[in-house]
Amino acid sequence: MGTGKRGLIAVAVTVVCAVTVLAVPGTAFAAPSPTPTPSATSNAASDATSKVEPSKDLEAVREKLDKLYHAASVATDAYNAAEEKAEKQSAEIVELAKKIVKGQERLAELKDRAGAAARAQYRTGGLPDEARLMLSDDPQEFLDGTGRVLQGQRATKGLIAELTRTQQDLEQYAKDASAQWQELEANRQAKATAQKKIEKQIAAAEKLESQLEKEEKERLAELEEQAAHQAQTAWLDSGILAEINGKASAQGKKAVKYATAQIGKPYEWGAEGPQSYDCSGLTSQAWADAGHGIPRTSQEQWKQLKHVDIKDMRPGDLIIYFDDASHVAMYVGDGAIIHAPRPGRTVTLAGAGTMPILGVVRPDA
């Protein structure tokens, strides 16, 4: 039992130390969860590093930039998911550490009581009951004492049972804490991997853009606007807007008000405000401000929130974009969205049909 006790205490000390580390302000953990595999974007970063020739096709450049920033968006979702999991695991480790500390205190108290009971039993248990009855001046007092002894024995058994349960609980807490710590470490590594992917894709995109002349950059911006305009026009031409007439809920109005107030603030991957946002950071914070918490990432928003038909959407609903659910925006009515587009851009008002729509979800269904 000595070895088991030492092992348990060692785990407890490790967990308590972990709590101290987790409580230090500014401690940075590098960690995401599932790392989605970018489809046709894997070679985009290396392609972008090659020198852009004077005869370059700006439309091809625009498409390449879209791929790079899409890959960065996918990695950002992985980063955010890992960060959310790491925060949850850290909190669970803290709670387990508190339980271990309380359990050790309770164990020490129970052992003191068990020791006292054992000493008392030793002092009074030297003679058999028959001899104590023969020597007793007051048989009734002896019989009363015997009843108290039986009560004491029952209490001792209960004490031993509680001691055993407390030790078992401590061992389970230690196992749980060890498992949570291992998951936390795995998420830190995954988060670091996602961060490298994000930085690589963004750096490749910035390098590609830096090779353009001023006139080419202006022309590229025009091409981006044209592509968005054409997509929005095609979406509106389908007649969908005539079918969309849902009224915002009270919470939806609050979420839209929050999102609208963020227009003009810069995009920053992994950011949740108040100075900057990524796409899901904006939508999750808008709904948190409205008093309704939702998942942190666009992929989890797509998985966990209620799906509604596009024709039934109302202001405050979230539109999920691309087949991999890597982007999210808030519908604000009249065929428009507010979203945090990508690095180098700001939170802005845009057409809901400017990107391929995967579906619509409703946070307050």
**33 neighbors 190 (Cβ within 8 angstroms):** yes
pLDDT average, residue stretch 174-200: 83
Cα–Cα distance for residue pair 246/252, rounded to 1 Å: 11
pLDDT at 130: 46
Q: Looking at residues 62-75, what average pLDDT do you find?
A: 84
Mean of the pLDDT values across residues 264-292?
A: 95
Chain centroid, CA 365 distance in Å: 22
Q: Is the pLDDT of residue 178 over 60?
A: yes
pLDDT, tens digit (0-9, with 9 covering 90-100), for 27-46? 332 333 343 434 434 444 44
Read off the DSSP letter of residue 347. S
Q: Indicate the average pLDDT of the chain.
A: 77
Distance of CA 232 to the CA centre of its chain: 33
Catalytic entry in 17, 70, 229, 279: 279
Where does the pLDDT of residue 252 fall: very low under 50, low under 70, confident under 90, or very high at 90 and above? very high
In angstroms, rounded to a whole number, what is the distance separating the alpha carbons of residues 216 and 207?
A: 14
pTM higher than 0.85: no
- Lowest-confidence pick of 147-161, 280-294, 322-336: 147-161
* Lowest-confidence region among 19-33, 142-156, 160-174: 19-33
- pLDDT over 80 at 52, yes or no: no
Angle at 281 between CA 276 and CA 285, to 5 degrees: 95
Verify whether residue 292 is a known catalytic residue.
no
Given the residues 17, 229, 307, 327, select the one marked as catalytic. 327
Per-residue pLDDT of 90-122, as tens digits, reads: 888 888 888 888 888 887 877 777 677 666 666
Residue 338 has pLDDT above 50, yes or no: yes
Query: What percent of the chain is predicted at pLDDT more than 70?
Result: 73
Decide if 90 contacts 73 (C-beta within 8 A): no
Residue 229 bears catalytic tag: no
- 307 flagged as catalytic: no
**3-state DSSP call for residue 202?**
helix
User: Maximum distance among all alpha carbons in the chain?
Assistant: 119
Comparison of pLDDT for 136 and 184, the residue scoring more: 184
